[in-house]
Amino acid sequence: MSKIYYKSAEEVELIRESSMLVSKTLAEVAKVIGPGITTMSLNKLAETFIKDQGAVPAFLNYNGFPYALCISPNEQVVHGFPSDYVIQEGDLISVDCGVIKNNYFGDSAYTFSIGEIDAERQKLVDVTKACLVAGIEKAVSGSRIGDVGYAIQKIAEDNGFGVVRELVGHGVGVKLHEKPEVPNYGQRGRGIKLEEGMVLAIEPMINAGTAGVKFWSDGWTVTSKDNKPSAHFEHTIAVKKGKADVLSTFSLIEEVLEKKHK
């Protein structure tokens, strides 16, 4: 798919259904994530949950990726393999999930804070979330792709953090990765114009240190070059006039986390 594929209102509703299933899956992960749990156990839970809902884990076998979830602890930026790594108090665990339901894709990611995290990590999580909100605010018809990237980059860099350049957001819906690319950096007023019918995965990947990343020889895992922590939040959204329609949600995850912490 070399051109931008514009979705009908009916297709947006199908992508919403897939995106909400991603959010529900991440809420299932939220129920059990914590110290002493392996990242592989989260992957198994998610794979089973998605299949039980009559859907397909979109990442499993995507270009050979072997798991349903990407799970990226601490200095891992994205595309980490679930493993026998035992989650510890103070970790940041980024969990990225995609599903295919009724042939449509949804894609969303959340960085979980495990117990008490240090001040730098807390700020990183808060700023990365704020970057996502700011990017979505600009994802309205008439804006340009560069407006979205600029908004994200400004917040991250004003807070002294690094914006990953090598990996970007993307169109989504009929395939996992469609045109256009949605960089987390850019110049205002530059790039293609956003229009209704575009569905985008906006996904700031923000490093506590410098922007540079390393690619592991496993062909997937990406870590920060300086091994400082990294955070990643992602929503699937539909471009609309005035205000984007956010098709995934964090509220299911955060309801679970609030209950756990009471």
Q: Is 201 in the site for Mg ion (CB under 5 A)?
A: yes
Q: How far is the CB of 22 from Mg ion (least distance, A)?
A: 8
Question: Could you give the CA distance from residue 256 to residue 190 in angstroms, rounded to a whole number?
Answer: 40
Question: Could you give the CA distance from residue 153 to residue 143 in angstroms, rounded to a whole number?
Answer: 16
Q: Is 77 in the site for Mg ion (CB under 5 A)?
A: no
96 annotated to a ligand binding site: yes
- The smaller minimum CB distance to Mg ion, of residues 47 and 96, is found at 96
Question: Could you give the CA distance from residue 205 to residue 70 in angstroms, rounded to a whole number?
Answer: 14
Subset of 224-253 contacting Mg ion (CB under 5 A) = 234
Q: How far is the CB of 164 from Mg ion (least distance, A)?
A: 13
- Measured CA angle at 208 (ends 206, 211), to 5 deg: 60
Question: Could you give the CA distance from residue 121 to residue 188 in angstroms, rounded to a whole number?
Answer: 29
Q: Is 107 in the site for Mg ion (CB under 5 A)?
A: yes
Question: Could you give the CA distance from residue 74 to residue 94 in angstroms, rounded to a whole number?
Answer: 8
Question: Could you give the CA distance from residue 157 to residue 144 in angstroms, rounded to a whole number?
Answer: 20
One-letter amino acid for residue 157 of the chain: E
Q: 78: which strand partners?
A: 222
Size of the site for Mg ion (CB under 5 A): 6
Q: How far is the CB of 16 from Mg ion (least distance, A)?
A: 16
Q: How far is the CB of 261 from Mg ion (least distance, A)?
A: 25
107 annotated to a ligand binding site: yes
Stretch that binds Mg ion, among 92-100, 144-152, 181-189, 242-250 (CB under 5 A): 92-100
Q: Is 109 in the site for Mg ion (CB under 5 A)?
A: yes
- The smaller minimum CB distance to Mg ion, of residues 98 and 229, is found at 98
Q: Is 28 in the site for Mg ion (CB under 5 A)?
A: no
Question: Could you give the CA distance from residue 229 to residue 87 in angstroms, rounded to a whole number?
Answer: 15
Q: Is 96 in the site for Mg ion (CB under 5 A)?
A: yes
- The smaller minimum CB distance to Mg ion, of residues 47 and 107, is found at 107
13 annotated to a ligand binding site: no
Q: Is 178 in the site for Mg ion (CB under 5 A)?
A: no
Q: How far is the CB of 203 from Mg ion (least distance, A)?
A: 5
Stretch that binds Mg ion, among 154-162, 201-209, 220-228, 253-261 (CB under 5 A): 201-209
Strand runs (DSSP E) across 22-73, as ranges? 56-57, 69-73
H/E run at residue 14: helix 9-32
Q: Is the dihedral of CA 138, 142, 145, 147 positive or negative?
A: negative
Cβ neighbour number for residue 84 with a 10 Å cutoff: 8
Largest Cα–Cα distance in the chain? 49
Q: How far is the CB of 96 from Mg ion (least distance, A)?
A: 4
List the binding residues for a divalent metal cation: 96, 107, 170, 203, 234
List the binding residues: 79, 96, 107, 170, 177, 203, 234
Which residues of the shown chain bind Mg ion in the complex (CB under 5 A)? 96, 107, 109, 201, 203, 234
List the binding residues for substrate: 79, 177
